[in-house]
Structure 1
Amino acid sequence: MSEAKNIAIVGATGAVGQEMLLCLEQRDFPVKSLTLLASARSVGKRFTFRGEEIAVKELTHDSFAGIDIALFSAGGGISKEFAPSAAAAGCVVIDNSSAFRMDADVPLVVPEINPDAAREAPRGIIANPNCSTIIALMGLAPLHRAFGLKAVIASTYQAVSGSGAQGIVELEEQVKALAAGESFEPKVYPCQIAFNVIPQVDVFLDNGYTKEELKMLHEGRKIMGLPDLKVSCTCVRVPVYRSHSISITAQFERPVNLAAARAAFGDTPGVALKDDPEKREFPVPLDTTGKDDCLVGRIRENLVLDNALDLWVVGDQVRKGAALNAVQIAELL
């Protein structure tokens, strides 16, 4: 057993913070002490960890004395303000926001793909990638090792929980209103999400892509160590509560074949095949909700591009796409 650590969760009352708490307990992480931090309005709320109730404390710049590892999940603004203070106190920060992901001196880590990157964090900060990037790369990394990844075209089908609790509430309220024949005004999304899909996740940029779509390009290059990787992505919000699905066309440097592609997933931790179309077996969001592994299916040779495969990857974006990945990084440490 590793030496027990003093752990803090920043943003402990949010959905990802709560999932971090659950992952620490389920994975029997060696916790010596656990500090739950949030804004002043959450002070005093109590959560149970290993049978003990722990009260939430207010996040301040002095919160990190004696803390070994801090898991941050409170938004980029909070991370930029408080992560340097945590690192200065001798704490290693694992940050779930986008604040530091593309900083050259901050490792961006998916433990199943580039674990060695976590060993060097000169600023005391390690970044957790975007949820869609993690899920996509869990399906692509084994194929890259087999064939050499060259280019990716992806479309995401992202659950409303990716917008936080308010996304789930909006979907629920709209479904109820439509069933009752009542009117409603969308608040979280630009238009109705119930029984609909919206081809926008995050804000649009001058080139017509959204920030979310370019994350897969820039983060994918950094994590995979492929500075010339080509990626084009369309991110879509769908009326699903939890777990993202991603349709991927991947082109490779070397010739591909289906048998070798399927075999590539055989010993890879964190990802599994569910791919038997004749039996109508393929991954759907409910298969991965609350689960650690990402699932891959619908693998087939692309009919347009040379040396290319099409595949479908599904993963729980609150868990592997956020909380679990952060806890796995802590396990590496």
Structure 2
Amino acid sequence: WQGHWIDAASSLRMEKDAVIILDPLNHDLIQKAYKNGNKNWIGGNCTVSLMLLALDGLFKKDLVEWVSSMTYQAASGAGAQNMRELISQMGVVYKYAKELIDDPKTSILDIDRNVSSTINSQGFPVENFGVPLAGSLIPWIDKDLNNGQSKEEWKGS
């Protein structure tokens, strides 16, 4: 391949010839890399990119001494198969709650019990997450890096 490569894959961000695009923040670095023949242009982590773009002016005026960022991981951080599983989970929840939802006389507590029962049932799709995400939350998305971080957390650090 002789052309330019534009990607957002986290696996490429740490390559030596990768330039993370945060224009206008690193415009000079982008121009220098282009003039030096670089052809690998990588999008940054969504959380980090937006945070840095928002804080750029404050950094330039030396108004920021320290930043602590936190991310709330999304199913999308674990990939397409996990996003599909979440949608499947939501479909199963709706399928088993629809009749109750459609009846205005049904109490919300009865609907909630039905949803909880469905989510905790044997056949509920959890092949990728390992646990239900629909109607819930899980503290860990993506692979364990064996250093106290998940891969999704690492992308934001």
- TM category (shorter chain) comes to 0.5 to 0.7
Task: For 2:140 and 2:88, locate their aligned partners in 1 and report how far apart those are by CA, in whole Å.
Answer: 20
Task: For 2:69 and 2:76, locate their aligned partners in 1 and report how far apart those are by CA, in whole Å.
Answer: 20
Q: Is 1:207 matched up with 2:122?
A: no
Structure-2 residue corresponding to 1:196:
136
- Deviation of 1:148 after TM superposition, in Å, equals 4.5
1:157 match: secondary structure: coil
Root mean square deviation, CA, Å: 2.5
The residue identity in structure 2 corresponding to 1:154 is: S
Q: Is 1:111 matched up with 2:51?
A: no
1:147 match: secondary structure: coil
Given the superposition, is the C-alpha separation of residues 177 and 100 from structure 1 closer, same or farther in structure 2, using an over 3 Å criterion?
closer
- TM-score norm. by structure 1 comes to 0.34
Task: For 1:126 and 1:154, locate their aligned partners in 2 and report how far apart those are by CA, in whole Å.
Answer: 24
Is the 1:92–1:125 Cα contact (8 Å) retained in structure 2? yes
The residue identity in structure 1 corresponding to 2:93 is: L
1:107 match: secondary structure: strand
- Any gaps of 5 or more consecutive residues in structure 1? 1-85, 218-333
Task: For 1:210 and 1:149, locate their aligned partners in 2 and report how far apart those are by CA, in whole Å.
Answer: 28
Q: Is 1:187 matched up with 2:127?
A: yes
1:127 match: secondary structure: strand
Q: Deviations over 1:221-242 (max 9, x none)?
A: xxxxxxxxxxxxxxxxxxxxxx
Indicate which of 76, 79, 89 corresponds to 1:161. 76
The residue identity in structure 2 corresponding to 1:186 is: V
Kindly name which structure, 1 or 2, has the bigger radius of gyration based on alpha carbons.
2
Task: For 1:202 and 1:168, locate their aligned partners in 2 and report how far apart those are by CA, in whole Å.
Answer: 12
Higher strand share: 1
The residue identity in structure 2 corresponding to 1:127 is: I
- Deviation of 1:208 after TM superposition, in Å, equals 0.7
Task: For 2:18 and 2:12, locate their aligned partners in 1 and report how far apart those are by CA, in whole Å.
Answer: 7
Indicate which of 121, 125, 128 corresponds to 2:43. 128
Task: For 2:80 and 2:91, locate their aligned partners in 1 and report how far apart those are by CA, in whole Å.
Answer: 17
Task: For 1:211 and 1:161, locate their aligned partners in 2 and report how far apart those are by CA, in whole Å.
Answer: 12
| 1:7-18 → structure 2 map (5 Å cutoff) | none
Is the 2:88–2:125 Cα contact (8 Å) retained in structure 1? no
Task: For 2:57 and 2:139, locate their aligned partners in 1 and report how far apart those are by CA, in whole Å.
Answer: 29
Given the superposition, is the C-alpha separation of residues 188 and 149 from structure 1 closer, same or farther in structure 2, using an over 3 Å criterion?
farther
- Deviation of 1:144 after TM superposition, in Å, equals 1.9
Task: For 1:167 and 1:205, locate their aligned partners in 2 and report how far apart those are by CA, in whole Å.
Answer: 18
Q: Deviations over 1:261-284 (max 9, x none)?
A: xxxxxxxxxxxxxxxxxxxxxxxx
- Deviation of 1:164 after TM superposition, in Å, equals 4.0
- TM-score norm. by structure 2 comes to 0.65
Indicate which of 132, 139, 150 corresponds to 2:54. 139
Q: Is 1:94 matched up with 2:6?
A: yes
Task: For 1:165 and 1:210, locate their aligned partners in 2 and report how far apart those are by CA, in whole Å.
Answer: 17
Task: For 1:102 and 1:150, locate their aligned partners in 2 and report how far apart those are by CA, in whole Å.
Answer: 26
Which is bigger in relative contact order (C-alpha 8 A, separation at least 6)? Answer: 2
Is the 2:10–2:155 Cα contact (8 Å) retained in structure 1? no
Higher helix share: 2
The residue identity in structure 2 corresponding to 1:166 is: Q
